[in-house]
Structure 1
Amino acid sequence: MKTVIKNALLGSVAGLAMVGTAAAADLPVKAKAAEYVKICSTYGAGFYYIPGSDTCLKIGGFVQTDYYYQDFSYLPKDEYQDSYFLARGALRVDARTQTEYGTLRSYFEYRLTYGGGGSNFSESTNSNLDKGYIQFAGFTFGKVQSFFDYYADNNVWGVDSIEITSDENSIVAAYTADFGNGFTATISIEDDSSRADGVDYDIYGDTETDIPALIGNINYEGEWGGFQISGMVRQLDSDYYGWSSGDDVGWAVLGGVKFNLPTFGEGDTLYIEGTYADGASEYTGINGSYAPISAVYDLYYNPVTDSYESSKSWTIAGELTHFFSPNVYGVVFGNYGEADIPTNTTTSSFDLFNVGASLNWSPVKGLLFVAQYTYGEANYNQPVYDYKGNLTSNSDFNQVLLSVRRTF
């Protein structure tokens, strides 16, 4: 009897096993485990491997809103807005791959800005590629911060704030040599059309550069701080209407130094920078102020000599950043400059200064609140007409900025 029962049980178990095997055979094949995104620690925080490749990718950006109040002594009240808002969003993408020649990097930052300010009373959306470049084996191709620039208004805040030094993005073809111990040198061919201010024209039209600017710099970065010496030469095309010119070449030089001041506060820095330009006013930052009634051109037509003559300008600027605590810091900045305009023209030589200060609070990582005030004043060697139709010996502006940015 026991043998019969045992055989029956074994048969039942075998039958159930066969049924289970058959059922399992009817089930779909289980999908492979999903490929998880892996962290790439080679280039710092925030990088991940693109699945199926050896390229590391970092995606970030920021959203920022600015509120401005402004006042200009030389403009009628109905020609500018006392107050206005600006909102900006930016997307940053950084892709890097290790090769036998070093890191292959591509980067871009795309910005959208909405609002209206200055003499623009209607609100609109503007888009621009702030930066977009490729770096490989010491070479840089694309739109980057000009290799002439150094301090580049580091902590002067705002979408629509002044410039006190040379600060411009340019399309470049550059090579940087790394000598070690913090020393590098760069030679760069740059499209500086955005920095060409033409001539003081009337009926003669405007002029442009025919060839790119040639720029070189020597840079050092160390524990105590750093410095940079830059030089630039460019062509000044004054043959637009067959006029001759004694100034066919524009040039500029820059010297800047940065001091790290940890004894005063962790993260404290001091920048000092001086720039001189002949036929290249945009390389000094003198046109970045809102104080002058008109900008400084590179070339002016002199009817007495029947030729074009270059302007000369220089600025010296400084900025001190001090951390009161890890989350609160203050910035004081300013510059002084002079513009030497050729005689017998329709404008006047002048000197100017700009001063400003801001208080910055970051309550949590990635969030920043800023309150900033800026004042600028220009004084003319001889009276000029303002936009109210009055002769004046000076002009000035005030600007108050309240801003918030979320960086991610």
Structure 2
Amino acid sequence: MKLVKSLLLGSAAGLTVVAGAQAADLPIKKAVPVEYVRICSAYGAGFFFVPGTDTCLRVSGRARFEAGYSQSYQRGGNNGDLMGYRGLGRLNLDARTQTAYGTLRAFVRFELASRTGAYLNSGTQQRIGNAFPALGVDTFGRAQQYVNVDKAFIQFAGLTAGRASSFYDFYSHDFEIIGSSLGSDVASTNLLAYTATFGQGFSATISVEDPIFRKNPLFGTATVGNAASQFAVFTAGASNLSPVVATNAAGVPIGEAFYDLRQTSRMPDFVGALRYDAAWGSAQVSAAVHELNAGNAASVLTFGGATIAAGSVVTPRVNTEYGWAVQGGLKFNLPFIAAGDALYLQGSYGEGASMYTGYSAYIGSYTASAAVTQGSNFAPFFVDAAVNPLTGKMELSTSWTVVGSYLHYWAPEWRSAIIGSYGEMTFGKTSRNLLGGLNFNGLGNPVNSPGAFLFSSALRDTSQVVAGANLIWSPVKDLDIGLEGLYTRVDLKGGGRVIDVNKAPGAVAAGVNGAGLPVNAAGAVLPTTNYADTFQVRMRVQRDF
């Protein structure tokens, strides 16, 4: 028994040793090594290598709260809100890769916001599809969601392609809590551009840009059936047809050709800029060319309303015109006053290009007219051109603006900015007189009374002042708490007055009394004005990361 027991124990021990030896000979599967995120120092703070690639990425963003108070003179429709609020979120993605041709960069910025109330609910952003309005009884026109791909561009070897800030712009309301001063600031447009650098701080850019974001409307005479009304504001989705006198082969007026003056996107805007950057600051000169166009006539009628037989009329075409603008800007760094101090000076002039001069930047763009505040005395006009109803030719508007903005640091955590801007806009008198005085059904009889024409704000020359100041406290890095006050005034140029629609909403002069004052149908004198102004206060709490 002892012998059998010893043999069994020995065999078990031997098997154990063999099994252990065989197990030791088996390959061991190693764990996948953990690839930790590595810092990328080539492009500044905040970049890291995307695992498994040689691309550096920076993720940043912003959270913001804003509130504002604005005067309101009229409590009708959606007017009457004195306060406005906005909450905004921003996300930035900046990806860069070093190549044999230089840095390959892709940048994307998303912005989401909820806006309500007076002037923080932006009609301008809604008109270009960046904001979506609420439709409830109490929220209609007073609340909106702002959804925007603010940036999405690629940069490579001097090329910029995608959605980016216009290369025409220089001062982009950098020092203002909410951009309000006059001057061009198209932060988001689609473009294809090439920038050449010459060393010593000099660079030049040629840019082909989306014209949609630079179109203020054309102006003509709206029609209802075949009865011409006096003035027209062309609106999306409406059948606003502007008549132009049609002639036969001999040049004799025989009818009206009706045009839809809403412009199409047929040709891009061309922008050129020359820039210089140095330790003392920056300088830029830029120019732009912008096409103004209208389609063919939608219909041709006799003055009595009958359709003119095909081939019996020479239909005039609304001629294509080209607006243009030039701009010059300077930025001075002023560290000898205080660290971080800077001054911007900028001026712009244009014809048929009010979005390039930025004359409508504060009151409202992408619309024929807008008011400085709810229930304002009158609404100034911003159209790029008026169509002459006799010739079909466009008469371009002229506008110019100047702006100065100074930022001063009282202490590292306290800073202020003072902003002042002025501009003027003028329209050709020929088109205004013809549009106001012609009845196309009779060729020469006033459509409405002379008083309605004389005291209308349509195509009236105006000047505009926008000025303000702010104070911002940054108790810790990347946190701003600020307050800003803003004053805006629009004046009629060249004398004259318009109906004060704040005091007489909806009033139209039925005639003029012996003293030259406008009166209604009952003979009562209507109130008039020659300016409109407003004051606003705004505040902001903002955290960047």
Equivalent runs, 1:58-73 vs 2, <5 Å: 58-72=58-72
SS at match of 1:287: coil
In the alignment, structure 1 residue 179 sits paired with structure 2 residue 198? yes
CA-to-partner distance for each residue in 1:190-215, whole Å, 9 max, x for gaps?
00212101212433232244201000
For structure 2, the residue ranges without an aligned partner over 5 or more in a row are 1-15, 122-139, 223-240, 243-259, 298-314, 364-371, 373-377, 436-457, 508-527
Query: Greater shift after overlay, 51-60 or 286-295?
Result: 286-295
Equivalent runs, 1:28-43 vs 2, <5 Å: 29-43=29-43
In the alignment, structure 1 residue 406 sits paired with structure 2 residue 425? no
In the alignment, structure 1 residue 396 sits paired with structure 2 residue 526? no
The one of 283, 287, 312 aligned to 1:227: 283
SS at match of 1:40: coil
Q: 1:74 Cα deviation (Å)?
A: 7.5
The equivalent of 2:337 in structure 1 is: 264
The equivalent of 2:145 in structure 1 is: 125
SS at match of 2:425: strand
**Residue 335 and residue 72 in structure 1: after superposition, are their counterparts in 2 closer, same or farther (change >3 A)?**
farther
Q: 1:31 Cα deviation (Å)?
A: 1.7
Q: 1:289 Cα deviation (Å)?
A: 2.4
SS at match of 1:162: coil
State the distance in 2 between where 1:83 and 1:77 align: 16
Q: 1:342 Cα deviation (Å)?
A: 2.1
State the distance in 2 between where 1:304 and 1:79 align: 39
Instruction: State whether residues 302 and 342 of structure 1, in contact with CA within 8 Å, keep that contact through their aligned partners in structure 2.
Output: no
Q: 1:295 Cα deviation (Å)?
A: 4.0
State the distance in 1 between where 2:406 and 2:76 align: 35
Q: 1:44 Cα deviation (Å)?
A: 0.4
In the alignment, structure 1 residue 326 sits paired with structure 2 residue 440? no
Instruction: State whether residues 419 and 467 of structure 2, in contact with CA within 8 Å, keep that contact through their aligned partners in structure 1.
Output: yes
Equivalent runs, 1:99-114 vs 2, <5 Å: 99-114=99-114
Q: 1:307 Cα deviation (Å)?
A: 3.1
The equivalent of 2:82 in structure 1 is: 82
SS at match of 1:282: helix
State the distance in 2 between where 1:254 and 1:75 align: 40
State the distance in 1 between where 2:23 and 2:288 align: 79
Higher strand share: 1
% same residue: 35
State the distance in 2 between where 1:243 and 1:67 align: 52
SS at match of 2:71: strand
Q: 1:279 Cα deviation (Å)?
A: 0.3
SS at match of 1:194: helix
The one of 148, 153, 157 aligned to 2:177: 157
Q: 1:25 Cα deviation (Å)?
A: 8.2
TM-score, normalised to structure 2's length?
Answer: 0.67
Aligned partner letter, 1:380: L
**Residue 383 and residue 68 in structure 1: after superposition, are their counterparts in 2 closer, same or farther (change >3 A)?**
same
Q: 1:80 Cα deviation (Å)?
A: 4.5
RMSD over aligned Cα atoms:
2.7
Aligned partner letter, 2:198: F
State the distance in 1 between where 2:352 and 2:38 align: 52
Instruction: State whether residues 74 and 395 of structure 1, in contact with CA within 8 Å, keep that contact through their aligned partners in structure 2.
Output: no
In the alignment, structure 1 residue 198 sits paired with structure 2 residue 284? no
**Residue 336 and residue 57 in structure 1: after superposition, are their counterparts in 2 closer, same or farther (change >3 A)?**
same
The equivalent of 1:278 in structure 2 is: 351
The equivalent of 1:8 in structure 2 is: none
**Residue 308 and residue 72 in structure 1: after superposition, are their counterparts in 2 closer, same or farther (change >3 A)?**
farther
**Residue 304 and residue 33 in structure 1: after superposition, are their counterparts in 2 closer, same or farther (change >3 A)?**
same
Aligned partner letter, 1:138: G
Instruction: State whether residues 112 and 146 of structure 2, in contact with CA within 8 Å, keep that contact through their aligned partners in structure 1.
Output: yes
Q: 1:162 Cα deviation (Å)?
A: 2.2
CA-to-partner distance for each residue in 1:190-243, whole Å, 9 max, x for gaps?
002121012124332322442010000000010111100000012111445375
CA-to-partner distance for each residue in 1:306-348, whole Å, 9 max, x for gaps?
5321100000001000001111100000100000022215330
Aligned partner letter, 1:127: V
Query: Greater shift after overlay, 30-39 or 308-317?
Result: 30-39
SS at match of 2:423: strand
Q: 1:30 Cα deviation (Å)?
A: 4.8
Instruction: State whether residues 275 and 314 of structure 1, in contact with CA within 8 Å, keep that contact through their aligned partners in structure 2.
Output: yes
Instruction: State whether residues 209 and 236 of structure 1, in contact with CA within 8 Å, keep that contact through their aligned partners in structure 2.
Output: no
The equivalent of 1:335 in structure 2 is: 421
State the distance in 2 between where 1:22 and 1:81 align: 85
Aligned partner letter, 2:277: E
Instruction: State whether residues 103 and 137 of structure 1, in contact with CA within 8 Å, keep that contact through their aligned partners in structure 2.
Output: yes
Instruction: State whether residues 247 and 309 of structure 1, in contact with CA within 8 Å, keep that contact through their aligned partners in structure 2.
Output: no
State the distance in 2 between where 1:252 and 1:121 align: 34
Equivalent runs, 1:208-357 vs 2, <5 Å: 208-241=264-297, 244=317, 248-290=321-363, 291=372, 293-303=379-389, 306-343=392-429, 344=432, 346-357=458-469
The equivalent of 1:166 in structure 2 is: 184
Query: Greater shift after overlay, 330-339 or 286-295?
Result: 286-295
**Residue 361 and residue 79 in structure 1: after superposition, are their counterparts in 2 closer, same or farther (change >3 A)?**
same
State the distance in 2 between where 1:188 and 1:78 align: 40
State the distance in 2 between where 1:347 and 1:384 align: 12
Query: Greater shift after overlay, 293-302 or 100-109?
Result: 293-302
State the distance in 1 between where 2:271 and 2:283 align: 17
Instruction: State whether residues 86 and 113 of structure 2, in contact with CA within 8 Å, keep that contact through their aligned partners in structure 1.
Output: yes
